[in-house]
Structure 1
């Protein structure tokens, strides 16, 4: 039995095509009955009517139910009745041979497979041949003609039945394949949905790490500083720290609301990237006492090359993560955030094609990267963000000591206007602290004790 001939597959096929077969059976049986009763020989009406009644009842109670349920016992019982009734009708009336059209089609429709179909139509033809040959008059020539006609009918029924069966089975196979394809598409859609959920969950987790977690870290460290200052009876300094705690908490609340509303970072809602970096630098200075200088080279937000919102988000999050690592590990006194726009074809541009790039460099004068430093969640998240934007990240020791984080990202696209040169707008500061590098003995506000270890 072929794949298309499995009971469940054939049951589905029968269910879909049963209505058409009902109409064909009843219509063709009615025509065969009219032809049989019109036989010029004059046939006994009662036996003939009884034979057709048995056939219709057998189809309704056995054949149709067997086709609908895929029940082989019912189908086989009906085929046996069909063969007996057909032979009986042909024996009673010459015109009863019209019923052969019904019998052949029903056999091929309900046969379990091709082999059984061939066997049944052969058996039916042999059964019909007996009364036909008995009733044949005219000598050997007429007998030979009748045999040839029966053989031709048998051959035609086998060829036509095999062809129709093949067509039907191909239709069944296509229907099954279509159902399998639809099931596979549904499964693939569910898989994609699950992957999308996991990706969104990872994105939200990274956003929380880059925003809320860092804000809470600031709150904890500032609270520890307040405790130390209160114990030292430095009330004024403690009040300043409390004000800073309130400010950080408000900013964290704004970030949380932005995440819930699926907006961009709250820091970018009130201005561009340069303004956000300036606010970040001032807050970091106030919380840690570490001087932060923001340097902008090139018209990053002017009328030349335009930074898209996604690019600004990546750069801001990278700056936040880099400063968080400085707070935790660097023991630094000074940090420089250097934001620059490199024109197309810049000599040091890498992995971003021939177009212009934006470059963010964060350099501190701390203790640098200890040997064997392992990247943490924050730095891995930074790399993922930058790589997703088509850029690159370098982390290493800065010349002269300290640590250096360098990001390069392709600019989203040019706007109308002239392209700035590499030195355009050089040295413009935005949001630096005092603007000067303090000497080793310059007084600084007290800062929490950094966490030991290298940059994550």
Structure 2
């Protein structure tokens, strides 16, 4: 298993390319080691049996023992150095084993005619233990040259005096083996690298998908939290404000001995509390506003105006034109906007009269809330409620305009596009007052 470059080398990699390549190489070694063990032990046993039974050795008396000693040394080096290095991912140990492998295979090729069978072991293990393609090529070339030199040297030492033709044949045979080894090794390496690259890309894709899912989940949670906060502000918080103010008024009337008026206020407290309870249940059930559950938008606005007038004593005039049949989302936005506008009148305007007007014009449904209160001072910042109203209107494709001058009241106007079966009608920006 070798590699000069890994997918992800560079800035995009989760770790330095070299560190990740070593981790992948170690994983490959550990995964494939059992199969290499079996092949190595089998070939080593075949070589030992062949040397003992049918091989010619040089020198005749000591060559056999030299070859068997080399096999024993190679076995010990494999178990104690090469295999341990592969298990631990230690490149220094695997390189030390490659040195022993080249020396032993070359020696056995020179002293035994069967020793060349170890070239199958040598070339295959070179590509298994080499840490890079370059290292595998160098080790293969050194092994081929050393084995060829050892065979030629043994022939000369035995007095065979090989001819030039014999040496050329020997070199050609070794070259063929080397070329086959290089081709096979490089091809296997490239296949392994492509497999690693696909695995790495798949891992990155899964990681990106997990991050995207987590991000979408977090965004969804945040958006839902903001939506619920706005719903609570527009409904429950305003209802509780009404309850507090009505209870304070009832208490003051009781202190003044006006029990009949206090009783009316307490009736209003009960009614507002029940409406708040209905809103809370609707929020829990993920329904729309409770006021729209059994009424049209115009009816809900009329009820809202009546309740506001009864609670505050501020006169509310309602002018409701033909609203048509807007979709539910548009009704929710308009009703919430009316609730927020009236809540601001209650808290800030000090008004005596309020006009609540609903107008359908040129493909938009416009809601206006005008009061004769103290107006807006220059540079007045928008509060939470008004920002939430603007976000609702903008999300629905509408427009919101808030205008006022000190002492001359305030006008809140929002326009929502109407939709029919063929799609949007008109421009939400048209029909402004």
Give ranges in structure 1 of 5+ residues lacking alignment: 302-306, 347-355, 420-456
Name the SS for the 2:351 alignment partner. coil
Q: CA offsets, 1:399-453, max 9 Å, x none? A: x95322111122344399xx9xxxxxxxxxxxxxxxxxxxxxxxxxxxxxxxxxx
Of 404, 410, 416, the match for 1:403: 410
Alignment pair present for 1:23 and 2:35: yes
Q: How many residues align?
A: 399
Q: Find the counterpart in structure 1 of residue 174 from structure 2.
A: 150
- 1:83-122 counterparts in 2 under 5 A? 83-122=102-141
How far apart are the structure 1 equivalents of 2:365 and 2:78?
81
How far apart are the structure 1 equivalents of 2:408 and 2:320?
23
Alpha-carbon contact 1:361-1:407 (below 8 Å) kept: yes
Q: Find the counterpart in structure 1 of residue 226 from structure 2.
A: 202
How far apart are the structure 1 equivalents of 2:36 and 2:375?
89
How far apart are the structure 2 equivalents of 1:9 and 1:174?
14
Name the SS for the 2:286 alignment partner. coil
* Structure 1 residues 6 and 371: CA distance shift in structure 2, 3 A: closer
Alpha-carbon contact 1:11-1:68 (below 8 Å) kept: no
Give ranges in structure 2 of 5+ residues lacking alignment: 8-16, 58-62, 426-433
Alpha-carbon contact 1:29-1:102 (below 8 Å) kept: no
Q: CA offsets, 1:102-153, max 9 Å, x none? A: 3223212222223333332233223212332135554111112212332343
Q: Find the counterpart in structure 2 of residue 296 from structure 1.
A: 320
Q: Find the counterpart in structure 2 of residue 384 from structure 1.
A: 391
- 1:240-319 counterparts in 2 under 5 A? 240-301=264-325, 307-319=326-338
Of 327, 331, 355, the match for 1:336: 355
* Structure 1 residues 263 and 69: CA distance shift in structure 2, 3 A: farther
How far apart are the structure 2 equivalents of 1:49 and 1:8?
40
What is the root-mean-square deviation in Å for CA atoms of aligned residues?
3.2
Alignment pair present for 1:227 and 2:246: no
How far apart are the structure 1 equivalents of 2:117 and 2:324?
90
Give the alignment's TM-score, normalised by structure 1: 0.77
* Structure 1 residues 154 and 83: CA distance shift in structure 2, 3 A: same
Q: Find the counterpart in structure 2 of residue 188 from structure 1.
A: 212
How far apart are the structure 1 equivalents of 2:141 and 2:333?
79
Q: Find the counterpart in structure 1 of residue 148 from structure 2.
A: 129
More helix as a share of residues? 2
Name the SS for the 1:145 alignment partner. helix
Alignment pair present for 1:10 and 2:28: no
Alpha-carbon contact 1:13-1:172 (below 8 Å) kept: no
Name the SS for the 1:94 alignment partner. coil
Relative contact order, higher structure (CA 8 A, sep 6+): 1
How far apart are the structure 2 equivalents of 1:64 and 1:313?
72
Q: CA offsets, 1:47-90, max 9 Å, x none? A: 66665565456445543442233122332343233223322442
Q: Find the counterpart in structure 1 of residue 364 from structure 2.
A: 357
Q: Give the C-alpha shift of residue 323 in structure 1.
A: 0.6
Q: Give the C-alpha shift of residue 29 in structure 1.
A: 5.7
Relative to structure 2, which stretch is displaced further, 314-323 or 38-47?
Answer: 38-47
